Homo-oligomer: A and B are copies of this chain.
Amino acid sequence: MEQVTIGMIGGGTVGSGVYNALKLNRALMERRLGIKINLLKIAVKAFDEPRPYPIPRGLLTTNWREVVEDPRVQIIIELVGGTTIARDIILTALKLGKPVITANKALLSAYGEELFSAAATNNANIYYEASVAGGIPIIKAIREAFVGNRITHIYGIVNGTCNYILTKMKEEGSDFAQVLEQAQKQGYAEAEPSLDVDGWDSMHKIGILASLAHGFWVSPEKIFVEGIRPVSLMDIRFAEQLGYTIKLLGIVKQIDSTASKGKSSRIQVSVYPALIPSSHVLARINDIFNAVFVRGNIVGETLFFGRGAGKDATASAVLSDIADAALDLKYETKSRLRPFVSHEKNGEIVPIGEVKSQYYIRLAVVDKPGVLAKISTIFGDSKISIASVIQPESRETEIVPLIMMIHSAPNSAMEKALSKIEKLPVVKSKPVMLRVENF
């Protein structure tokens, strides 16, 4: 049986997960592949850092160059995270013509084009199934299984921390701050939670999926991002009454119908908390689970569900990439599937202002007659139509919530209308605006 020799940089959560998964399943995997897998060396930050699964001392080094530059090592797995050393590691490996496996979405988001171009120049390859949605094989699905589809819609719950927080807020009736604290204690949220709760991590992932689906590289600065901090328990409850559930979604939507005729590809790429119908399968994806809903013009609706993070689920994706990289080495087909194929010259991201959405609006208004008329007039003047209004019964307070569901309108028009509404003397706080996705 042939053998491939692998070196890994990173021995923390995911790294030790990969070590453990190989320990458990290496023999099975080798029989399936017909290739022996030899994990020769692992570079770590410190020998004695705490890790979920122990790694024998003999495999460890603290010098990543020792791994990458070892002539016996044929495939490099980069699991250090971040965008500095990780970039050096990958570029060094590629320059040596060594294929790289990475779970690093932040790095791909920021430096994808540079890395892919380095892979092409050096006849190497980059495998990154583990970078989006952990154990869910969504990269393989989009690149390979749906290669014959124009992908018209992607809706992804791709951040487990946010999904956990929104689920607990709804189930326990707690507010954001409380649940965040609880999630931090349980290890589901970082001490500095911004990467997750402000939507940046989802942005990294949805940008990668958008790029693969639409064939032009989507720069992160073109992605509109809103996190879950603006979602209050009150909004979760009103949404529930209206038959909706609030989820943080990464969204990739083909805007132009002409695109289906092969003309051009104008797409929306955004991350925001959205109201989705509670009957939709995505609304049932709870806790730390991830799911990606994909619609193709041939396959129709599909959904992929699983664990989006964690030592084991992510390791499963890394093992899948090890298999592909090993086969590509064995058959000398290092560029069989290039890490990114630019196949849409005229692709463009539609700015959020031009995107049409439906909306949920919550206002805090003075409880007296004529208020609704004033607000409706502003919407009417902006050619925005109201689908429904809920005014919960006043509990003898002077300021009451007013909920409005709004038909499809451009985001720029909505923003202008809301800034006018905010200035009305009867409106007592900044309007809450959440988008509604009815699929």
- Check if A145 sits within 8 Å of B313, measured CB to CB: no
Say whether A193 faces chain B, with CB atoms less than 8 Å apart. no
Closest B residue to A289 by CB, please name it. Answer: B301
- Check if B341 sits within 8 Å of A31, measured CB to CB: yes
- Check if B300 sits within 8 Å of A306, measured CB to CB: yes
- Check if A148 sits within 8 Å of B298, measured CB to CB: no
CA distance A262 to B150 in the complex (A): 42
- Check if B32 sits within 8 Å of A150, measured CB to CB: no
Q: A28-B150, A327-B336 are in contact. Are A300 and B307 (CB under 8 A)?
A: yes
Q: Copies of this chain, how many?
A: 2
- Check if B147 sits within 8 Å of A29, measured CB to CB: yes
Among A31, A137, A146, A302, the most chain B Cβ lie within 10 Å of the Cβ of: A302
Closest B residue to A323 by CB, please name it. Answer: B147
- Check if A316 sits within 8 Å of B148, measured CB to CB: yes
- Check if B316 sits within 8 Å of A146, measured CB to CB: yes
- Check if B33 sits within 8 Å of A147, measured CB to CB: yes
A283 to B: closest C-beta gap in Å: 10
**Which residues on the B side are within 8 Å of A301 (C-beta)?**
305-307
Say whether A203 faces chain B, with CB atoms less than 8 Å apart. no
Say whether A439 faces chain B, with CB atoms less than 8 Å apart. no
**Which residues on the B side are within 8 Å of A27 (C-beta)?**
262
**Which residues on the B side are within 8 Å of A331 (C-beta)?**
331, 333, 336
Within A28-70, which residues are at the interface with B (CB < 8 Å)?
A: 28-29, 31-34
Say whether A296 faces chain B, with CB atoms less than 8 Å apart. yes
Closest B residue to A260 by CB, please name it. Answer: B24
Among A27, A297, A303, A322, the most chain B Cβ lie within 10 Å of the Cβ of: A303
- Check if B25 sits within 8 Å of A297, measured CB to CB: yes
Contacts A/B (CB < 8 Å), 18 sampled: A24-B298, A25-B149, A31-B215, A32-B341, A145-B317, A146-B320, A148-B323, A149-B319, A296-B316, A298-B315, A300-B307, A301-B305, A301-B306, A302-B305, A304-B304, A305-B305, A331-B336, A333-B333
List 8 tightest A-B contacts by C-beta distance, closest first.
A148-B319, A137-B145, A299-B316, A302-B306, A31-B343, A135-B299, A303-B305, A298-B316
